């Protein structure tokens, strides 16, 4: 398992401490090797060093819990992504959660209409940090070929989107590619200004009708 992590051996403090601790035993058992090398070899067998944010990102990227916001045709294709042939489980993202409180990846799969927009914003706000959004398909990304009176022209009008997957609907391979792209973004700790600068649309998703956001969950 550890082999998949990018391990950094550049922590000078750790190396120095190891050198001091392991040096006395170096002569007899590891003939010919310097103290530093021996300490290094030994430490590799039971420990490793890394940056904290890197290992956290590694954990995050391999345990995305998607909330499948399937509204239309893309939702059917998303079933195939989860299904036996394409099997999203291979990417660590098989734990599908329908509660935003338990998931960190919002998979917007399908057309978002004007009527649905406030609901989508509310769901997005209910997701706990860190949260990521994949917009699956033409409709979710831009409204697609529905340049129409009741269709939101892309879900990025109301929520920040990290990865857009083109297609109508995208093939499951394309969705997997989108998930892998997101995993890479997470692993590389890529800055996400669209997410940091996002402001909730005025009056959208506040839920004034049901007495505030907390009530209607």
Sites of contact with other proteins (CB under 8 A): 69-73, 75-77, 79-80, 83-85, 98, 110-111, 113-120, 122-123, 139, 145-153, 168-169, 171, 201-210, 216
Residue (of 103, 204, 212, 211) closest to 159 by Cα position = 204
* The residue to which tokens 């978002």 are assigned: 112
| Cα separation, 157 vs 34, whole angstroms | 61
93: its two tokens: 């993202």
- Give the residue with the Cβ less far from other proteins, 39 or 151: 151
- Give the residue with the Cβ less far from other proteins, 26 or 113: 113
Q: How far is the CB of 138 from other proteins (least distance, A)?
A: 11
Residue 108, SS3? strand
The residues pairing with 136 across neighbouring beta strands, listed in sequence order, are 109, 165
Q: How many CA atoms lie within 13 A of 193 on its CB side?
A: 0
Burial readout 77-111 (b: 16 or more C-beta within 10 A, e: otherwise): bbebbbeeebebeebbbeebeeebeebbbbbbbbb
Q: How far is the CB of 120 from other proteins (least distance, A)?
A: 8
- Give the residue with the Cβ less far from other proteins, 86 or 164: 86
Q: How far is the CB of 74 from other proteins (least distance, A)?
A: 9
- Give the residue with the Cβ less far from other proteins, 9 or 145: 145
Sign of the four-CA dihedral 197, 204, 116, 64:
positive
Q: How far is the CB of 69 from other proteins (least distance, A)?
A: 6
Q: How far is the CB of 26 from other proteins (least distance, A)?
A: 56
- Give the residue with the Cβ less far from other proteins, 57 or 67: 67
- Give the residue with the Cβ less far from other proteins, 4 or 202: 202
Contact 194, 201 (CB under 8 A): no
Q: How far is the CB of 21 from other proteins (least distance, A)?
A: 53
């Amino acid at each position: 398992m550890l082999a998949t992590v990018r391990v950094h051996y550049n922590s000078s403090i750790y190396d120095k401490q190891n050198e001091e601790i392991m040096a006395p035993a170096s002569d007899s058992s590891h003939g010919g090797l310097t103290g530093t090398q021996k300490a290094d070899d030994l430490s590799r067998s039971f420990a490793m060093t890394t940056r904290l944010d890197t290992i956290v990102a590694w954990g995050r990227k391999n345990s995305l819990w998607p909330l499948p916001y399937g509204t239309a045709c893309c939702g059917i294709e998303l079933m195939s992504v989860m299904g036996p042939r394409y099997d999203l489980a291979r990417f660590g993202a098989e734990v599908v959660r329908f509660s935003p409180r338990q998931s960190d990846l919002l998979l917007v799969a399908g057309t978002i209409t004007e009527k649905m927009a406030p609901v989508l914003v509310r769901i997005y706000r209910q997701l706990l940090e860190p949260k990521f959004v994949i917009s699956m398909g033409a409709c979710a990304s831009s409204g697609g070929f529905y340049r129409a009176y009741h269709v939101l022209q892309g879900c990025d009008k109301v929520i920040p989107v990290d990865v857009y997957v083109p297609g109508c609907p995208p093939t499951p391979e394309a969705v997997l590619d989108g998930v892998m792209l997101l995993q890479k973004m997470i692993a590389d700790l890529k800055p996400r200004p669209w997410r940091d600068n996002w402001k909730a649309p005025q009056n959208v998703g506040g839920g004034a009708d049901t007495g505030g956001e907390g009530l209607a969950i």
